[in-house]
Structure 1
Amino acid sequence: MATFIVETHYVPELQDRRLAARPRHLQNLDVMRERHQLVNAGPLADGSGAVLIYSVGSRAELDRLLAADPYPTDAVQVSSIREWKHNYEF
């Protein structure tokens, strides 16, 4: 398994689009948590975006999960994806 940290950025001008999709986005996160694909997630304290930590078999699997997220990609943009070598098991 590989662990990835994904940082997103919210586009302020498109907040209404993001908020309209938020309930479906949160349901999607719940499903990934149940499947042990999502370790943790949450918004940044300044409200500018979010950080999500995934545990998946490959980068290709992560890309499929990100593509399936209900958030509109113009309103919520992926800022960075980094593989993380953690010291402790989840």
Structure 2
Amino acid sequence: MKYFVATYTYGEQSLVDATRPAHREFISSQLSLGRIVGSGPYAGGDQALIILQLPETATESDAATILDEDPYTVAGALSAREIREWNPVMNIFS
């Protein structure tokens, strides 16, 4: 498996709040598919982290395609999103 981390920076709070239930449903569906192994907001901040596990042939573009379907992205609730490949040296996910 190949891992990617996505950092979300929240935009307009009222839009984030309104979209949160759909976002959590999306995250749950991706978790059920085995694509997401962890997600959640940073404590006290305006950012969140999502960890994805995808097939070894996956690219950052593949991770972006999945996260493009996140209601936060669709609704424009994020002011920024960064996706990077991640190499977990101490891997507890497999």
Taking structure 1 as the reference length, what is the TM-score of the superposition? Answer: 0.86
1:1-90 → structure 2 map (5 Å cutoff): 1-11=1-11, 14-57=12-55, 58-59=58-59, 60-71=61-72, 72-73=75-76, 75-76=77-78, 77-78=80-81, 80-87=82-89, 88-90=91-93
Gaps of 5+ in 2: none
Query: How far apart in 2 are the matches of 1:48 and 1:89?
Result: 27
How big is the shift at 1:69? 0.4
Q: CA deviation at 1:46?
A: 1.9
Q: State the alpha-carbon separation in 1 of the partners of residues 64 and 87 from structure 2.
A: 19
Structure 1 position 49, deviation (Å)? 1.1
Contact 2:63 2:83 (C-alpha < 8 Å) held by counterparts: no
- Displacement of 1:84: 0.9
Query: What TM-score do you get using the length of structure 2 for normalisation?
Result: 0.82
Q: Distance in 2 between matches of 1:46 and 1:3?
A: 26
Distance 1:17 1:63 in 2: 21
May I ask how many residue pairs the two structures share in their alignment?
86
Kindly provide the amino acid, as one letter, of the partner of residue 8 in structure 2: T
CA RMSD of aligned residues (A): 1.3
Q: Helix, strand or coil for the counterpart of 2:7?
A: strand
Distance in 2 separating the partners of 1:46 and 1:5: 20
The runs of at least 4 aligned residues of structure 1 exceeding 6 Å deviation read none
Structure 1 segments unaligned to the other structure (5+ residues):
none
Q: Percent identity?
A: 29
